[in-house]
Structure 1
């Protein structure tokens, strides 16, 4: 059975786009207004998407069900595999008592919650995004903040918002590389253009985070730290993306922010220590923690050091190439090459591949799992306790195990049915104002798929074709797809599911969605206005 996508089944692209938007409207309503648990909202939205695909877009029932199943499988592996291994490592350090040492050692740098957020959510989270991506940064950094004593909602929300700065260059630059390849553009030009947009957000995100958690007046008390983190990150992000390439901006920028903050905090302290209003002051303070032995600190931190080393190692191209030789590629029966994409989404009719990759060895979750085994040996966790903690972690994540496959199934059915393309084509029909709406395509793509890489694969050819039609440099709009996409990451149902799983907020996905949605919209509008200005008034910024 073969089927060709129809992006305008209603005979009016505006009406077709409205029909295609129904699953998005449903999940927005359920999460933001009704505050329905994520697994329920995801299941209902998925059911609506399948019905719209079959009834509205005339997708054959068999193809719709196979597509949904493939998306659900992807939600289990590799996405859920990353989440459970990341949280398992964190749980192991808690069970052994070593996380208390980690908390104390961080307090020797600072026990101020504002500065801990900058170090963990912004800088360390960006490092993990650059090395791994795909959910690992939020899962690990949000879990760490909860362990440090952060309010779980703030821990999850701050990590999602902080993740805005590094997403476009995440996973060793894969989103930018993918976008350039799909649009047939020079990858260095696209990298440079993204590096002339995102640093404007990166420099303000640290201040944004602290204002959100502590208010403007309190943020001004730590303004030097915010500026050091933001400027160090943004500066290296601009330089490396323009002169080195898309692979290293996150790694170099996050290291610059970590080193800059650490040096600053050796010579400068805020006038007061800030904690959450309902939080008790710890019995120990930074000044009384100097008796922690270096060996004890290294032992406690070893799981996260190992985690970082393994993630970076797995991200190296030569290593990844070797590990990928063990990948099993399953051409999904009845779906692979059975659906054809057409213009304007692609230049010529193109059958869609449906290959489920079981990259059991090269997956980031496997790197974390190996790190967990080595960590268990270092922490003195025997086999019995190891599997006991693993079992508890799995029990902790039973609801996300339902939610994540649902939202990935939603992403796949909207992509393979042509519903996402219908929304994109509608936005692309804005003519002179297309540069204004170009980042909104990326925002929409990341909201639907949870991935800047997937959003670029979905829309970057459309971005390039439309830009040429309206007389705009396609490098700008392809870059804007990635830059706009990063602002949608914080409200993607997939990201919300990961964050709630990591912080014990399962069932409160609506609260977290409401926490982040206004920030997502404001930042998206900022990228939209920036792109419009660069298209017509600041075109000298386009490489």
Structure 2
């Protein structure tokens, strides 16, 4: 039985930690400095991890390879199973022609561009993050803001800043589920803690959007609706993650925020709407005049996509909202109705990974339980989303053959993303089971209680480099757990802080900057966008670090 040595290099924890960090440094170097594609960076880091596991830690090569295969399969199921199903579900609404109706519903709520930024980038973007994630909300909401007349740069910055608070629970809580599976901590408990951190961001992000769109005038004229939406979104995020369903958190929060805006705007109207529209229109005209080539065409295409001819009837509104209400209903029954919840749980299959289970021990000498694989073929959020997608296709009269082809097309389109996720999860499993993660965590634990104030930075760095909160958790969740145990801190809090810290790095990730720049017609201006959003990212990170540090001590009563 293989038992990892915490200090295999010269019997020194510091030197061993430096060696164990090489796979992570490979990710940062290849992605951040050499500008490699994410899948090549992941594969390179995996190769380095395998070499270190065998050469430095003495892990048998066959066990190291099997560990990588377990991580790869976990990346495919349930992680990519959820992600692909979520994106497929959204695209059915687009192909069936109902996405235009949803856009029309949002347009009908308010014609004030500052309010529209909140409705589109924050509320609807949060819903898209809940279902799809992985950059899809940025591209879609960016085009939508262009379609309502926003200047390109303001649209880019707005959607990036808005895509923060919902990220932790994105793609049906994929980052949280990943962290729970890797650490063995109940993912619902991790989600409950995150639901006591990210609402702080949700409360203020709509106010930030007013400043981004129209400066202090926007904040002065529109703060009541922004504050109301932020407060309700934050409250719903807390309640859903702690008392309803982690997977449904973003959907419930987004719908609650959208409903709040509708109610507030029935009794209150913002000032300066015409003036703000004129200012943004002049800025947009100037940008369009300076745009060339493909960038110039993007804005024209976005304006042409608006559909204002058809009357927005009650039936169209109901059909536009139907997919999202269906998801809420299905997941609520699956999570809250005990007979169905128990039935789904009974369908889960657990088995030891062939050739690996029973042959790997923890650092303390106990048989490792990480080699047991859980196959949630029916209870997985991805399976439930697949069922919802079939129902939506039938209701929308979208041919199931076309829906099946759409699913296959998504798999092909996402092939490099699939390879990236598989390689990163393989890397995480090799580092965890060989002992590399435990070594680094033990070394970091030397910081003691002060580590709590810096724990979110790891998630921030991981997401900034990989562009994914899920990948950041795959890299650092177990490290956070080990460091927390060594420093006598709450492991669940530190793992949750990794996710919370990652959400405020999405807006500076090179991948997401490229997605937004392409969507709004600012290709080649990624560095300009970065300079405009980086201080928002750092400011929110500092706030989360302070909150996490305080929650580990004098504010521990905030935790579940």
Where on the TM-score scale, by shorter chain, does this alignment land: which range? 0.7 to 0.9
SS in 1 for 2:378: coil
| d(CA) in 2 for partners of 1:330, 1:116 | 50
| d(CA) in 2 for partners of 1:315, 1:119 | 28
SS in 1 for 2:50: helix
- CA deviation vs aligned residue, 1:472-494 (integer Å, no higher than 9, x gap): xx45x7434413431125658xx
Among 141, 145, 151, the alignment partner of 2:141 is: 145
- Cα 1:127–1:88 shift into 2, 3 Å: closer
Determine the structure 2 residue equivalent to 1:65. Answer: 65
- Cα 1:480–1:332 shift into 2, 3 Å: closer
Residue 263 in 1 paired to residue 259 in 2?
Answer: no
Residue 376 in 1 paired to residue 393 in 2?
Answer: yes
| d(CA) in 2 for partners of 1:191, 1:400 | 25
Determine the structure 1 residue equivalent to 2:318. Answer: 298
Determine the structure 2 residue equivalent to 1:310. Answer: 330
Does structure 2 retain, via aligned residues, the 8 Å contact 1:162–1:209?
no
Deviation at 1:332, TM superposition (A): 0.7
Deviation at 1:533, TM superposition (A): 5.0
| d(CA) in 1 for partners of 2:93, 2:250 | 27
| d(CA) in 1 for partners of 2:356, 2:510 | 29
- Cα 1:214–1:58 shift into 2, 3 Å: farther
Does structure 2 retain, via aligned residues, the 8 Å contact 1:53–1:64?
yes
Determine the structure 2 residue equivalent to 1:95. Answer: 95
Deviation at 1:429, TM superposition (A): 0.2
| d(CA) in 2 for partners of 1:526, 1:361 | 39
Among 451, 454, 457, the alignment partner of 1:434 is: 451
- CA deviation vs aligned residue, 1:118-174 (integer Å, no higher than 9, x gap): 345544566788xxx7x745577456526636689769845652335757x958997
- Cα 1:433–1:498 shift into 2, 3 Å: closer
Among 307, 328, 332, the alignment partner of 2:353 is: 332
| d(CA) in 1 for partners of 2:516, 2:94 | 13
- Cα 1:382–1:498 shift into 2, 3 Å: farther
Determine the structure 2 residue equivalent to 1:8. Answer: 7
SS in 1 for 2:484: helix
- Structural mapping, 1:136-535, within 5 Å: 136-137=132-133, 141-142=137-138, 144-145=140-141, 148=144, 157-158=160-161, 160-164=163-167, 197-208=197-208, 222-235=222-235, 254=254, 256-266=256-266, 267-269=268-270, 271=273, 272-273=276-277, 279=299, 282=303, 291-316=311-336, 318=338, 319-342=340-363, 349-431=366-448, 433-440=450-457, 450=471, 459-460=480-481, 462-467=483-488, 474=489, 478-489=492-503, 522-532=539-549
- Cα 1:297–1:49 shift into 2, 3 Å: same
Deviation at 1:211, TM superposition (A): 5.3
| d(CA) in 2 for partners of 1:392, 1:17 | 43
| d(CA) in 1 for partners of 2:23, 2:209 | 31
SS in 1 for 2:6: coil
- Cα 1:82–1:538 shift into 2, 3 Å: closer
Determine the structure 2 residue equivalent to 1:470. Answer: none
- Cα 1:349–1:311 shift into 2, 3 Å: same
Deviation at 1:109, TM superposition (A): 1.7
| d(CA) in 1 for partners of 2:213, 2:413 | 27
Deviation at 1:263, TM superposition (A): 1.9
Does structure 1 retain, via aligned residues, the 8 Å contact 2:79–2:178?
no
Greater Cα offset, 5-14 or 521-530: 521-530
Deviation at 1:107, TM superposition (A): 0.9
Deviation at 1:426, TM superposition (A): 1.7
- Cα 1:84–1:195 shift into 2, 3 Å: closer
Does structure 2 retain, via aligned residues, the 8 Å contact 1:64–1:413?
yes
The alignment of Structure 1 onto Structure 2 pairs a total of residues equal to 516
Runs of 5+ unmatched residues, structure 2:
147-151, 289-298
TM-score (norm 2): 0.74
Deviation at 1:37, TM superposition (A): 2.1
- Cα 1:212–1:56 shift into 2, 3 Å: farther
Determine the structure 2 residue equivalent to 1:78. Answer: 78
- Cα 1:249–1:448 shift into 2, 3 Å: closer
| d(CA) in 1 for partners of 2:262, 2:553 | 41
Deviation at 1:538, TM superposition (A): 6.5
